[in-house]
């Protein structure tokens, strides 16, 4: 094989590997129940969440549990509902929630305006992590909820900071159980991360 062919093959291989690496980060991890395995598969996600923890004080485990509940770590997640008769039924968005963080359009715009991150995207993991840290810090300021309190932070994350202050979650018998599940997952992730090699 000549030197030119070898160089072309090397460049082509590098290009293919770069493309597959870029595409692979949009896929959910192979498991969402093993934090250590997730960390080895998506080290860039953990760097982003650690940066968010340093910036806002929201633990990585709380961010993970929130993202797991909201989007199952899917970048293009959107809550859907079926409408129409069985023959013509179709899926339509239930709300404007979108991306890893499932932030609503208006809340995402508020975040971008407040932080100056005009190019932030809900399909970008780092931006979604930063959003969660920022939002939970807003709730801590408004309602005195610790950033480490996964249960109460999730109630406010779901019902909004003002809704949480009014106690709107008390009218939803199912929501406290979901928030307890998020809290349990945060504790599980925290324990796993402490024991990663």
Could you tell me which residue, 77 or 190, shows the higher pLDDT?
A: 190
Contact 59, 183 (CB under 8 A): no
Per cent of the chain over pLDDT 70 is 79
**Distance (Å, whole) CA 37 – CA 153:** 26
Q: Write the pLDDT tens digit of every residue in 91-101.
A: 444 578 889 99
Q: Give the pLDDT confidence of 10-62 residue by residue, as tens digits.
A: 444 444 444 434 434 578 899 999 999 999 999 999 999 999 999 999 999 99
With 90 as the cut, is the pLDDT of residue 72 above it? yes
In angstroms, the first-to-last Cα distance of the chain is: 43
């Amino acid at each position: 094989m000549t030197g030119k062919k070898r160089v072309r093959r090397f460049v082509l291989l590098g290009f293919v590997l770069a493309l597959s690496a870029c595409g692979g980060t949009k896929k959910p991890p192979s498991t969402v129940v093993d934090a250590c395995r997730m960390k080895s598969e998506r080290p860039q996600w953990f760097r982003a969440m650690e940066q968010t923890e340093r910036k806002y004080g929201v633990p990585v485990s709380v961010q993970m549990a929130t993202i797991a509940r909201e989007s199952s770590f899917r970048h293009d997640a959107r809550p859907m509902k079926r409408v129409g008769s069985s023959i013509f039924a179709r899926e339509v968005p239930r709300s404007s929630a979108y991306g890893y963080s499932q932030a609503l359009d208006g809340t995402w715009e508020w975040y971008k305006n407040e932080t100056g991150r005009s190019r932030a995207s809900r399909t970008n993991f780092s931006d979604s992590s930063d959003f969660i840290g920022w939002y939970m810090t807003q709730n801590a300021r408004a309602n005195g909820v610790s950033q480490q309190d996964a249960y109460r932070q999730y109630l406010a994350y779901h019902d909004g900071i003002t809704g949480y202050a009014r106690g709107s979650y008390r009218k939803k018998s199912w929501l406290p159980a979901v928030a307890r599940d998020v809290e349990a997952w945060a504790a599980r992730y925290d324990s796993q991360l402490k024991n990663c090699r």
